[in-house]
Structure 1
């Protein structure tokens, strides 16, 4: 009898990633779903579509699973892998016992969560250091002291810690992908897409649920592009793509986790967002003014009106021009509704009054004034939004 063993740790997924550098999951769009877990996660599952997993799998408890019987190892494997996907984790083969006298037959087989047996980082590090002590002692005796070895126990400990931290983060990334993949069975319109680097490490990740897509279809004329700079545990840029509903409430259209903030990466985010939203482009976009982001908007949304967040501009004015009175008047001028000619006159007088004609930041801001001065943005739709 084949008996699957369910582990309480559901965060791991298969170690086999597909070879393509980019994958997405959105079965509602021409069955474009990609199997992100490689070829070993669901053996003989038929079509292999996550969205085809029976919702009734969520109702099974541990005892019911343990008591199930299967006529073959393949049947047990198909069931348990389907169950794991429905619950948001993946499994791997663990132990088996061959049938005596019947070569090629398996008497029993067990499956475990793919994270089963992972050694805590502290224990692994201590074991690694313990095994390294004899080697370090030998090198010390051969070189005449630790100072001549070239690296110390501290160097070794730091290296092991960095490598182990990377392993943990990779595992968390796979767990996140497993969770997102499982959401498709509950939300057929759930969309996510990711890319990996040359070493198969997660590089970019975007997701948007069905509700977000409906909200964007109804009120997606304005797109607010907000980036939080490495405030999460993984020190990665986290992007929130939001807007304003017809009831003037903030609504989230999608999210992305990035490895860097290059123009190429932002191009990927906006192009993926466009794909998730059936090609609908916003009329206006509000960002923090990042140059790479600005170029990406020009590339992907060439006809959108771009506004720079007034809060970021005020903060940058404080950092770059150490004159509180200038910051006050700059902010006031930024928000003043007036004719273009009046703005130009007020700007020239302000810069002259504070002697900032050669200040690099002030010069740069004037080059961008059509993206932040209310005088130049009047008549364009921003739903009352000035900040991200």
Structure 2
């Protein structure tokens, strides 16, 4: 037990290096306390004179080491805010409102940034174990929860796929048509994140499964699709919509040979403006005519005749972009899917919208365990 304690000025001692911005000036101000038998303390020595100018404003105290402490309650609040993807500036503003105004916050924004950095490091430490703990917790609350973890020779995670009981039930009822889309940089490891999304009888988006994968190769997609179908009871979808990734196309042909694979129409046409230049503007006749062909032609003969007429009218027979998308028209054009059930879906917009929504709640460089939670 301490029997003596000295409280010194923030300017006590010498600077560690010369010619720096340290406030230390060898100030001798000191309050010495001694403990007595009943646990109390008494002042045994008091040196009250400072050898430096005192602070002129209340806000200057923030730059002193003695005023950089973040109390426990504020730390808990900051932790919750950061886990919910609130950026540093907004966190500081919220804390300022709790203290009445920004000038009353007892620490600087730099201190807050340092603390948030420590939080991120703590969350990333032992990430795999924490992720498995999160899965165990999900499984204890949902007997139908399932996950697949694939590791490489170095025991690093290659693929992480999971789904729950509600998603399995949704797939059983509405799994005939699904969309699958991947997005990048939603986690600490920049692993592509994929969502299996469907639509229910009210045309509301429903989530079927979630996957994080290190590589986007044919073999990786084959494993993902095979495991997804297995988790869903072995029944593959009748129609699947994706973007134009070649690896994904080959994997779908091998794992779901009887399914109709449809490309997202938006992905096919998204480079139209780049390749068609002045022809493709909001006010141009060509753009309106193109969308009429794409959206309103119902039979193959109608589509091909209208396409040929469009090229003749605007003299675009040699346009590379139009030639390429016409060659793969059976993958995206409406007439070639006559008789195929698509649940009124023509793009992967539902998957992309879900990805965009989730990015609002998940920090862009969060560790895997926080991402799963």
State the Cα distance separating 1:268 from its structure 2 match: 1.1
State the Cα distance separating 1:308 from its structure 2 match: 1.3
In the other structure, the counterpart of 1:176 is 131
Alpha carbons 1:170, 1:201 under 8 Å: kept: no
SS in 1 for 2:159: strand
State the Cα distance separating 1:369 from its structure 2 match: 0.5
Counterparts in 2 of 1:113-124, with a 5 A limit? Answer: none
CA RMSD, Structure 1 to Structure 2 (Å): 2.7
Q: Which runs of 5+ in 1 are unaligned?
A: 1-119, 124-163
State the Cα distance separating 1:121 from its structure 2 match: 11
Alignment match of 2:217 (pick from 262, 266, 287): 262
TM-score normalised to structure 1 length: 0.54
**CA deviation map 1:194-231 (0-9, x unaligned):** 21223221111100001100110111111111222334
SS in 1 for 2:154: coil
The verdict on how the C-alpha distance between 1:212 and 1:335 changes in structure 2, with shifts beyond 3 A counting, is same
Counterparts in 2 of 1:5-154, with a 5 A limit? Answer: none
Matched, 1:363 2:318: no
State the Cα distance separating 1:280 from its structure 2 match: 0.6
**CA deviation map 1:305-348 (0-9, x unaligned):** 12211222232323343331455433332222322111111112
CA–CA separation in structure 2 for the residues paired with 1:357 and 1:204: 45
Matched, 1:334 2:289: no
In the other structure, the counterpart of 1:285 is 240
**CA deviation map 1:47-69 (0-9, x unaligned):** xxxxxxxxxxxxxxxxxxxxxxx
CA–CA separation in structure 2 for the residues paired with 1:194 and 1:355: 54
Matched, 1:214 2:169: yes
CA–CA separation in structure 2 for the residues paired with 1:121 and 1:221: 45
In the other structure, the counterpart of 1:349 is 309
State the Cα distance separating 1:373 from its structure 2 match: 1.1
The verdict on how the C-alpha distance between 1:321 and 1:267 changes in structure 2, with shifts beyond 3 A counting, is farther
Alpha carbons 2:265, 2:333 under 8 Å: kept: no
In the other structure, the counterpart of 1:200 is 155
Matched, 1:304 2:272: no
CA–CA separation in structure 2 for the residues paired with 1:172 and 1:222: 35
TM-score normalised to structure 2 length: 0.56
In the other structure, the counterpart of 2:143 is 188
CA–CA separation in structure 2 for the residues paired with 1:214 and 1:173: 29
Matched, 1:238 2:193: yes
SS in 2 for 1:255: strand
The verdict on how the C-alpha distance between 1:312 and 1:382 changes in structure 2, with shifts beyond 3 A counting, is same
CA–CA separation in structure 2 for the residues paired with 1:231 and 1:292: 21
CA–CA separation in structure 2 for the residues paired with 1:355 and 1:210: 55
Q: Which runs of 5+ in 2 are unaligned?
A: 1-114, 349-373
Aligned length: 229
In the other structure, the counterpart of 1:272 is 227
Alpha carbons 1:317, 1:327 under 8 Å: kept: no
CA–CA separation in structure 1 for the residues paired with 2:245 and 2:287: 20
SS in 2 for 1:271: helix
